[in-house]
């Protein structure tokens, strides 16, 4: 299997995680990277359900913020890295800086570092993220900062990706696949 970066986008409960796991199922040794933190009982239940859905043969890394540092020593030991998801990762980065001073630039830098790690590796990556650009404009500054930050991160990953798929009602729609002569 040749190295590929696949970005899987979609709304809430659109089937992103299921689709990404199906893609990774053919990926040999899989490292699942979880960015969620159990902030309340409902989120803890969601995390437990996601854990139960993953194959027992996969390795799991739970890292909410510093993906590059955590992934760097591990990536060479795997054939596929599945990150689920950029949405919570961007949220975690945003909430890490309560005054949000310099956060947009910091988030962009962290996303670039993550893409650079992929580009230095020989491993396929599948990255899941929510598409937040189809909804209403948030009424709070924090909400707008989140939507702006995630939108920019999604654009960075889409530009670097070999394949971009958006999920609608459980159905994948291919937005980007290289043709015979590349992108």
Distance CA(174)–CA(166), nearest Å, equals 7
Neighbours of 174 (CB within 10 A): 9
pLDDT digit string, tens, across residues 20-72: 999 999 779 999 999 998 889 998 998 898 888 899 999 999 999 999 999 99
Q: Look up 106 and say whether it is catalytic.
A: no
Task: Give the list of residues 6+ apart from residue 160 with CB closer than 8 angstroms, or none.
Answer: 5, 115, 118, 119
Distance CA(92)–CA(86), nearest Å, equals 10
pLDDT digit string, tens, across residues 76-130: 999 999 999 999 999 999 998 767 666 888 999 999 999 999 999 999 999 999 9
Of the residues 37, 47, 50, 75, only one is catalytic, namely 50
pTM summary value: 0.92
Sign, CA torsion 67/95/97/152: positive
């Amino acid at each position: 299997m040749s190295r590929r970066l696949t970005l899987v986008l979609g709304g809430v409960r659109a089937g992103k995680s299921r689709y990404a796991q199906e893609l990774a199922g053919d990926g040999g040794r899989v490292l699942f990277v979880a960015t969620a933190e159990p902030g309340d009982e409902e989120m803890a239940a969601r995390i437990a359900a996601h854990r139960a859905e993953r194959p027992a043969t996969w390795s799991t890394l739970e890292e909410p913020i510093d993906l590059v540092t955590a992934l760097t020593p591990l990536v060479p030991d795997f054939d596929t890295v599945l990150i689920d998801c950029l949405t919570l990762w961007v949220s975690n980065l945003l909430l890490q800086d309560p005054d949000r001073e310099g956060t947009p630039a910091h988030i962009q830098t962290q996303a670039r570092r993550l893409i650079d790690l992929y580009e230095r590796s020989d491993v396929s990556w599948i990255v899941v993220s929510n598409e937040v650009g189809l909804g209403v404009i948030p009424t709070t500054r924090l909400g707008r900062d989140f939507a702006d930050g995630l939108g920019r991160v999604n654009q960075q990953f889409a530009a670097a990706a070999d394949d971009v798929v958006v999920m609608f009602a459980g159905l994948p729609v291919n937005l980007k696949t290289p043709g015979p002569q590349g992108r």
